[in-house]
Amino acid sequence: METKSIMIVGVGGQGSLLASRLLGNVLLAQGFDVKVSEVHGMSQRGGSVVTYVKYGDKVYSPVIEKGEADAVISFELLEAARCLPYLKKGGHLITSTQQIDPMPVITGAAQYPENLVEKLRAAGAELVAVDALALAEQAGTAKASNVVLMGVLAARMDYPMELWQKAIEQCVPAKFLELNKKAFELGLSAESV
């Protein structure tokens, strides 16, 4: 199979590393060659965080560049807009509707763009927008919106559910397992706004 590329993007602290590892484990169990690329260090401190997941018969570059992503999964709306250029023509964009103001907006140096969901849809992206934060809080903690979005993704990929369940067990600490499983299920059944 030709290499497929999925970008997972968000704001430092939202748990994109865990999501990318979870997805990587599912794809590994499915028998693909897999590469997952993360950025550590300074970028994690509330900045834009981008991770790349690539899979296929043989994956070379761990990096995804503009026009290459089959899917972008975003934990935050502005980050979804920022990463739109990475999406292939006809690629899928899954985003949380959560908005977190970046420092230039907080200081008043810039505006948070309005009506991003409508604009992203108008730009031709196959858009799925869900309130992952509300669903995560429904599962028990705001921190689980990463796993909610993996549920949203899982519903649109054709891999056995037990692979996802097993990957969640591998990646999540035991004491948060039930909570995350619930978050995943809420994501699975979530409809786009």
Partner 1 sequence: MKKLMLGNEAFARGLYEAGCKVVSSYPGTPSTEITEEVAKYDEVYAEWAPNEKVAMETALGASIAGARSFCGMKHVGLNVAADPLYTAGYTGVNAGMVIAVADDQGMHSSQNEQDSRHHAIASKVPMLEPSDSTECKEFVKLAFELSEKFDAPFIVRMSTRVAHSQSIVEMEDRQELGLKPYEKTPQKFVMMPAYAKGRHVFVEERTKKLIEYAETTPLNRVEISDKAEFGVITNGAAYQYVKEALGDKASVLKLGMVNPLPEKLIQDFAAKYEQVYVIEELDGIIEEHCRNIGVNNVKGKEIFGYIGELPQSVIAEKLLGEKKEFSALEDNIPVRPPVMCPGCPHRGLFYCLKKLGVTVSGDIGCYTLGAAAPLNAIDTTICMGASISGLHGFNKARGAESEHNTVAVIGDSTFMHSGMTGLVNIAYNNSNSTVIILDNSITGMTGHQQNPTTGKNLKGDPAAAVNLEELCKAIGIKRVRVTDPYKLAETEAAIKEELAADEASVIISRRPCALLKYVKHNPPFKVNTEKCVGCKMCMKLGCPAISMRDGKAVIDHTQCVGCGICKEQCKVGAIE
Of 27, 122, 9, nearest to 71 by C-alpha is: 9
Stretch that binds partner 1, among 39-47, 150-158, 180-188 (CB under 8 A): 39-47
Task: Return the H-helix or E-strand segment holding 80.
Answer: helix 77-83
**Minimum CB–partner distance for residue 24 and partner 1 (Å):** 5
Q: Which residues make Cβ contacts (< 8 Å) with residue 83, sequence separation at least 6?
A: 7, 9, 50, 69, 72, 74
Helices (H) and strands (E) in the chain, counts: 8, 6
Span of 23-31, 146-154, 155-163, 178-186 interacting with partner 1 by CB under 8 A: 23-31
Question: Under rule CB under 8 A, which residues in 109-138 are in contact with partner 1?
Answer: 109-113, 116, 119-120, 123-124, 133
Name the residue nearer to partner 1 (CB basis): 35 or 182.
35
Query: Nearer Cβ to partner 1, position 34 or 128?
Result: 34
Q: Minimum distance between the CB of residue 22 and partner 1, rounded to whole angstroms?
A: 11
Quote the CA–CA distance of 65 and 2 in Å, as a whole number: 16
Integer Cα distance of 80 and 17 in angstroms: 17
Q: Which is nearer to partner 1, 143 or 182 (CB)?
A: 143
Identified binder of partner 1 from the candidate list 6, 18, 19, 84, rule CB under 8 A:
84
24 in Cβ contact with 16 (< 8 Å): no
The site for partner 1 (CB under 8 A) is made up of 11-13, 21, 24-25, 28, 33-48, 59-63, 65-68, 78-79, 81-82, 84-89, 100-113, 116, 119-120, 123-124, 133, 142
